[in-house]
Chains A and B, each alone.
Chain A
Amino acid sequence: MSTTEETPMRATGRQIPDRLTRPGARLLKSWEALLLIVAVAIFILNSLASPYFLDPWNLSDATFNFTEKAMIAFAMAMLIIAGEIDLSVGAIIALASTVMGVAMTEGASTFVIVLLGLGTGLACGAFNGILVARFGLPSIVVTIGTMSLFRGISYIVLGDGAFTGYPPSFAWFGQGYVFWVITVELVIFAIAALIFGVLLHRTNFGRAVYAIGNNATAARFSGIRVERVKFILFLLTGLLSGIAAICLTSRLGSTRPSIATGFELEVVTIVVLGGVSILGGAGSIPGVVLAAFVMGLVTFGLGLLNVPGIVMSIIVGALLIGVIALPRLWFMLRRR
């Protein structure tokens, strides 16, 4: 272990993955800087392209584009850093929303509805966690299975129907404002960013997550309870999906079994765009926050220009590949 190279990073309390000591590390280390430049550039472009962009109410509404996905992305980022993945998050939202809908039709109070949403998220996360951590099954396969299972239960309950008529007090989560134009969802997003930033970068638990992602065997032999950490990560992903389900259901005011379809891939896109290695062991919460803002700004700006949603997805896909490919392309050319 060379101490000289690690000292500056250790000051920030972040575990340094080995691959960052290779040539090209400096650019990868400044991934957040790259994202920040992209975000600012898109912000300026947006404000030039549309006169309506800088309106505070518009900007506030724009946050709906990403907050629900981004809060799940924090938990997903930790899961991916630990070398696992959860493809069932969209289905967990659907199931949690369905459970809340059933409770609502039974006349439950807002408090109980919210509690059930959180509980369903936790239960789904625990189910994934048990299958992956306790039985040692590969998470990508398990969560493809539970994705069909959870959403399938929603379809069984709802068929082609929908739950509508949530109580007015429930609408606060998805439609309420805290200070003037700051939405409740944005506040939840900020709190989640803070909690997960501290959890990943300032605690032993976060250190363990990096250790597992880099070398699970070494982590086990250094006394980290790998299974327990993984189980907790799945619980967290489930919980955050439950919170997202509450926000989304409240914002839409209804539950359909097709709610949040395709969320899992968008959440993974945010995480990967945020500089988290899909192979595990590297990544940061500030990167995920910036990636969420980049995604939100891109879709909002294009929306103001009346670009259809499906064309936005082309641009987001190109952004995902481009942001990852360009630095690599640059190194390949420079090495010549």
Chain B
Amino acid sequence: MSLLRSRELILAFAILALLIAIAARFPGFVTPRNLAKVFTDTSPLILLALGQMIVILTRCIDLSVAANLALCGMVAALLDGAGIPLPVILPTVVALGAALGAVNGLLVWKLAIPSIVVTLGTMTIYRGTIFLLTGGAWINAHQMSDAFKAFPRAMILGLPVMAWIAILAILGVAVLLSRTPLGRAFYAVGGNPHAAVYTGISVGRTQFAAFVIAGALAGLTGYLWVARYAVAYVDIAAGFELDVVAACVIGGIALTGGSGTVAGAVMGALFLGIIKNALPVVGISPFWQMAISGAAILIAIAVHAASQRESGRIILRQAEEQA
């Protein structure tokens, strides 16, 4: 019974069922090579979902990740255009992403403005800044150096670098959350902020750290996105922030904070990624994608709510839930 309650297991079965259903008609979809391609396609979503998960764990939300990604990607493309080598560009955009995350974090920490308001504002500011940088111009494939474009696609052991970066990030965040004091602090702050204060954890500082990590991951993803698709413009990844939140929600990360796992976030992202990749293969128009992922989100939270529901053991349970 407790196994069935496990969100990750239910989600793993859902993904497996999805794959079997697709394979029943199109065996080509589940070949290792195609699955690797699906994973690579989903890498940006996984990277951002990992960062978003950490932010959500601390009872915050970051709506500016997609704008952060777009700005860092554009800066990466501009630096490349200025002839700066890739080994310099990469740390620069990660640092820039972290700095943009730090702006969010500082406003949440020092001024105690709700994170949804802060990131709603910085989202438009970051994306607008791209326009100021370029005047709305596009940077196309022929304006990028070959090394810049080749790095995410370079194959190591049969997988592109982009997929390896996602795997490393998954492992890194998993270690961070389960093996370090900071990782436990994320859960503590989201689970019960008052208790966290009494155990000597600074709530604001922990939330700040979460935003910085999410920002750094967004910055890294910005480079990968621009280099892989070989184009940079103001509107790249527009609306992607809600896909990221959706991946977290499907993965069972509670928006009320304090609960969620790396495996959940990754599988939530993969679930959306598989749907996105499978639709054209199965012959469904891509126009169905939005409605299907919307329905998937609703089903996921309905299942989650049902698995949480216990029989009326506690008096006034309903009132307790509201509190």
Contact = CB atoms under 8 A, between A and B. Distances in A.
Interface of A: 87, 131, 135-138, 140-142, 144-153, 155-156, 158-160, 216-217, 220-221, 226, 257, 261-262, 265, 268-269, 272, 278-279, 308, 310-311, 313-314, 316-318, 320-321, 324-325, 328-329, 332
A325 B111 contact: yes
Interface stretch (B81-89, B145-153, B187-195, B283-291): B283-291
A145 B129 CA distance: 30
20 contacts: A141-B249, A144-B242, A146-B298, A150-B294, A151-B294, A152-B287, A152-B288, A152-B289, A159-B285, A257-B287, A261-B239, A268-B120, A269-B120, A278-B116, A308-B131, A310-B131, A311-B132, A313-B127, A314-B125, A328-B112
B113 interface: yes
B282 interface: no
Contacts of A262: 239
A149 B117 contact: no
Interface residues of B, number: 49
Contacts, number: 146
A135 B291 contact: no
A209 to B, nearest CB: 15
B218 interface: no
A142 B246 CA distance: 10
Nearest to A83: B322
Interface in B305-321: 305, 319-321
A136 B298 contact: no
B57 interface: no
A87 B120 CA distance: 13
Interface of B: 63, 107, 111-114, 116-118, 120-125, 127-129, 131-132, 136, 234, 239, 242, 245-246, 249, 255-256, 285, 287-295, 297-298, 301-302, 305, 319-323
A53 B242 CA distance: 37
Contacts of A137: 301-302, 305
The DSSP consensus for interface residues of chain A is helix
A138 B136 CA distance: 38
The DSSP consensus for interface residues of chain B is helix
A136 B116 CA distance: 22
Contacts of B255: 138, 140-141
Contacts of B242: 87, 144, 147-148
B293 A328 contact: no
A155 B287 contact: yes
Nearest to A87: B242
Contacts of A310: 127-128, 131, 136, 234
A321 B132 contact: no
Contacts of B246: 144-145, 148
A65 to B, nearest CB: 15
A308 B136 contact: yes
A153 B291 CA distance: 6
Nearest to B286: A155
A19 B249 CA distance: 31
B277 to A, nearest CB: 17
